[in-house]
Amino acid sequence: MPSYEQLRELLDPASTVLMTVECQQGVVGPESALPELAAEARSSGALANVARLVSAAHQSGVQVLHAIAERRPDGRGANHNARLFRAAGRLPVQQLSGTAAVRIAPPVEVADEDLVVRRLHGLSPVAGTDVDPLLRNLGCRTLLITGVSANIAIPNAVFDAVNLGYTAVVPADAIAGVPADYTPAMIRNTLALVATITTAQEVLGAWKRPYRAG
């Protein structure tokens, strides 16, 4: 893990964006299409830590971006080229545009200044979406990645961010996947090789003291 000063420099509010990944009611909420993942996100404290980080970002002037996965009711444009997509199409809860399933799940709060990026295809919150041009227009250098799942969307986001030239930072206790022991293995063996791994508390501490302008 980086030193306190290194983390503070990485997480300068002027050049950092906090991204929440699929923290939506149909994924991590009580009526989730993926109840095992939802239970893990809540019981592990990951969703609560995402909420803490979002709240601190709002107070510290850090831009928040919520990445949502959804599909049209008619399925147009959605992928069908992997078992995951076909299985998702049979789930009792569908992530349909405009429904409660694609709203951000409590306790994560959405402020007026937050950006919400919705994708209708693929596995990545970044590739093939508006995320990269938005980050560049915001002057982002560091992308703080939180949410679910450590199985697929989180590593996709990290790899894409690194490939695009951003520094990826992952609070290990603000992401979740299934089974529970998979997340630390993914962090240790994969994400730690390409991202800065930290904790929610360390991020909060880095933002606690005011930054000097300039």
DSSP letter assigned to residue 13:
G
pLDDT above 60 (res 213): no
Sole residue written with tokens 């290990």: 172
Q: What is the mean pLDDT of residues 110-135?
A: 97
- What is the per-residue pLDDT across 76-99, written as a single tens digit (0 to 9) for each? 998 888 888 888 888 788 899 999
Contact 163, 25 (CB under 8 A): no
Question: Among 105-114, 117-126, 174-183, 205-214, which stretch is predicted with the lowest mean pLDDT?
Answer: 205-214
pLDDT above 60 (res 111): yes
Alpha-carbon distance 90 to 100, whole Å?
A: 18
- What is the per-residue pLDDT across 24-54, written as a single tens digit (0 to 9) for each? 999 999 989 999 999 999 999 999 999 999 9
pTM: 0.94
CA distances from 91 to 160, 182, 212 (A): 28, 23, 49
Spatial CA neighbour of 151 closest among 178, 118, 123, 124: 178
pLDDT given for residue 211 in this prediction: 65
Alpha-carbon distance 164 to 166, whole Å?
A: 6
Alpha-carbon distance 214 to 200, whole Å?
A: 26
Contact 89, 75 (CB under 8 A): yes
Spatial CA neighbour of 127 closest among 165, 157, 87: 157
Spatial CA neighbour of 101 closest among 86, 118, 77: 118
What average pLDDT does the structure give for the chain? 94
pLDDT above 60 (res 214): no
Q: What is the mean pLDDT of residues 168-183?
A: 98
- Would you place residue 162 in the very low, low, confident or very high pLDDT band (cuts 50, 70, 90)? very high
pLDDT given for residue 154 in this prediction: 98
Which structure tokens are listed for 69?
A: 């996965």
